[in-house]
Amino acid sequence: MTLSALRDLLHSRIPRDDRGLSAIEVVILAPVMILFILVLVAFGQMVDGRGAIDGAARDAARSGSLQWDQGNAMAEARKAAEADLSDVCSGPVTVTKTSLGFANADLFTVDVSCEIRGLAMLGLDIQTRMSGSFTAPLDPYKRKA
């Protein structure tokens, strides 16, 4: 008896049954696919948070540059940044002025930062503090109210 004849005889006597194989595949692959989708959602939240922080920095710098004095400028910048980031950040929003002076020809630069939710929804305690900066020219035609 040759090797190929022996192999054919062995395969013909053992019934091949694939029942239950797809259930095992689903049990193994479903958690992996769900985890992959959750990671994509978490990274999507981080990208969305990056855009929101950059937009909040832009809005904060612009609203601060329209004010008459530095105290009101920082108050309005904080108010604008907190309004933009109320549903994005998981902690307090930090707004700091990084430009020098507050004269008519100056620029008003703010740095906005906060903790983004990001990977916390997966149970990963990874610090995701993001910050954005924007510069707006001070309005030379502003007037006192």
Specify burial of residue 41 (Cβ count, 10 A radius: 0-12, 13-18, 19+).
Answer: exposed
Does any domain span residue 27?
no
pLDDT at residue 88, rounded to an integer: 86
**Considering the domain boundaries, does residue 22 fall inside one?**
no
- What pLDDT does 24 receive? 80
- 28: Cα separation from own chain's centroid: 30
Look at residue 1 in the predicted model and tell me its pLDDT.
62
CA angle 63, 65, 66 (to 5 degrees): 70
105 found inside a domain: yes
Structural domain boundaries enclosing 66: 32-137
pLDDT of the residue at 79? 96
Asked if the structure places residue 20 within a domain, the reply is no
Nearest to 108 by CA among 71, 69, 135: 135
3 domain residue, yes or no = no
Does 100 fall in a domain?
yes
Q: Is residue 145 part of a domain?
A: no
Separation between Cα atoms, residue 61 and residue 97, nearest integer Å: 9
Residue 127: inside a domain, yes or no? yes
- pLDDT for 55 equals 96
Determine the pLDDT at residue 16: 62
For the entire predicted model, the pTM comes to 0.73
Q: How many domains does the chain have?
A: 1
Distance CA 118, CA 53 (A): 13
**Contact of 114 with 89, CB cutoff 8 Å:** yes
Q: Specify the CATH number for the domain of residue 69.
A: 3.30.1300
**Which residues of the chain are under the pLDDT cut of 50?**
none
| pLDDT attached to residue 25 | 81
